[in-house]
């Protein structure tokens, strides 16, 4: 059995997806019509041989309790492992403002009693395919106290603003963890994935808690760069980031590219999710789709192109949908014309029929709203 406890972390307030985040935590975001974001780090962990996993969530956990359930659909045997959901219960403060260190500290007894010797922490807002067993071997072989996964980017001036970036020396030692303010084009983007021994993790949590009640794990890591051996591991695969509404839209739309979708259609590295027994989608009144992901239970009577359609969506006669993300149970009325629009769950487009955003700034229609 893999000798590491998996922790799926939540994001700080620098990551905010306008509209969508009002109704659910980032971990519960729908992705390419079928998955939720939490499915990707859990699947990476279980495919790597990790079967002790805790999911920390700082929003309404109801949908995740239903989605994760016992964890059996993630190929976890509850007799030999566990998949737990740890929600934030704030005491008079907003859940999204509670630092991750506070939650780790409150659950320190459970972490200390965990039989694994290492801890691997992964976020929900960076989607990528990685074998954590190989990364742990790299970490152990390096002799580092902490390893951080990163990717070198060349568009930091206009993208990934407020995301964490790493300042590195020539040996890929981490000198500082900084916030990307858009001043430099080329930066080392932190993927928010940390590998360390369980004892180092416990010591860092205690140190952070003693330093400041507002410290996040990255803050104490940044403070410790000069006194600990913290190294960066370069990730060379595809990364699909979600840190605002535009990046959520862009990462979804990239999956319509066959080459990108190969990352997550590998039979040897499946992405697990909860399945639903629902009827297949049907096409009525000459409804058509092209270059589109269509989930189960849909009724399509219009023309859909270059879009992602969630479960049980209804698209009316002569409607035209182009470059849109339609979340489950939405209704698109007859003769509607939508371009670059994100329609949240259960929304109804029945009165104002012409709606258009841009790829850089998609138009968002809120959950269960009638337009």
Query: How many percent of the chain have pLDDT more than 70?
Result: 98
What's this model's pTM, rounded to 2 decimal places? Answer: 0.94
Phi, psi of 176, deg, nearest 5: -165, 150
> Strand, helix or coil at 121?
strand
The pLDDT tens digits for 303-360 are: 999 999 999 999 999 999 999 999 999 999 999 999 999 999 999 999 988 999 999 9
For residue 349, what are the β-bridge partners?
332
Contacts of 55 (CB under 8 A, 6+ apart): 8, 27, 38, 42, 64, 68, 83, 84, 85, 86
With 0-12 / 13-18 / 19 or more C-beta atoms within 10 angstroms meaning exposed / middle / buried, residue 73 is middle
Rounded to an integer, what distance in angstroms lies between the CA atom of residue 216 and that of residue 100?
Answer: 6
- When pLDDT is averaged across residues 67-92 and rounded to a whole number, the result is 82
Max distance between CA atoms of the chain, in angstroms, equals 68
The per-residue pLDDT for 278 is 81
Rounded to an integer, what distance in angstroms lies between the CA atom of residue 282 and that of residue 196?
Answer: 50
The per-residue pLDDT for 78 is 67
């Amino acid at each position: 059995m893999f000798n590491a406890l998996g922790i799926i972390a939540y994001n700080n307030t620098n990551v905010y997806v306008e509209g969508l985040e009002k109704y659910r935590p980032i971990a519960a975001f729908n992705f390419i019509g079928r998955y939720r974001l939490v499915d990707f780090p859990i699947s990476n962990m279980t495919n790597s041989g990790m079967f002790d996993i805790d999911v920390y969530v700082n929003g309404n956990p109801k949908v995740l309790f239903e989605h994760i359930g016992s964890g059996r659909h993630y190929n976890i045997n509850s007799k030999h492992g566990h998949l737990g959901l740890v929600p934030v219960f704030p005491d008079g403060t907003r859940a999204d403002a509670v630092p991750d260190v506070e939650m780790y500290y409150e659950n320190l007894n459970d972490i200390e009693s965990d039989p694994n010797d290492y801890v691997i922490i992964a976020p929900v807002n960076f989607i990528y395919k990685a074998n954590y067993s190989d990364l742990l071997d790299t970490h152990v072989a390096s002799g580092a106290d902490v390893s951080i996964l990163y990717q070198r980017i060349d568009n930091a001036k206009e993208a990934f603003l407020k995301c964490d970036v790493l300042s590195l020396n020539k040996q890929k030692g981490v000198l500082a963890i900084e916030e990307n303010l858009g001043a430099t084009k080329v930066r080392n983007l932190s993927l928010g994935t940390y590998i360390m021994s369980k004892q180092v993790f416990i010591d860092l949590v205690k140190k952070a808690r003693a330093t400041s009640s507002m410290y996040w794990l990255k803050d104490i890591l940044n403070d410790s760069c000069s006194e600990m051996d913290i190294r960066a591991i370069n990730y060379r695969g595809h990364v699909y980031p979600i840190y605002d509404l535009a990046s959520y839209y862009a990462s979804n739309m990239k999956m319509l590219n066959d080459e990108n979708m190969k990352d997550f259609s590998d039979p040897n590295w499946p992405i697990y999710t909860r399945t639903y027994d629902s009827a297949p989608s049907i096409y009525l009144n000459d409804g058509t789709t092209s270059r589109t992901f269509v989930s189960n239970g849909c009724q399509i009577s219009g023309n859909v192109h270059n879009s992602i359609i969630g479960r049980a969506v209804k698209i009316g006669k002569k409607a035209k949908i182009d470059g849109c993300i339609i979340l489950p149970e939405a209704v698109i009325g007859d003769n509607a014309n939508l371009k670059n629009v994100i329609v949240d769950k259960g929304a109804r487009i029945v009165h104002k029929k012409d709606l258009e955003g841009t790829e850089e700034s998609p138009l968002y229609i809120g959950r269960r709203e009638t337009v």
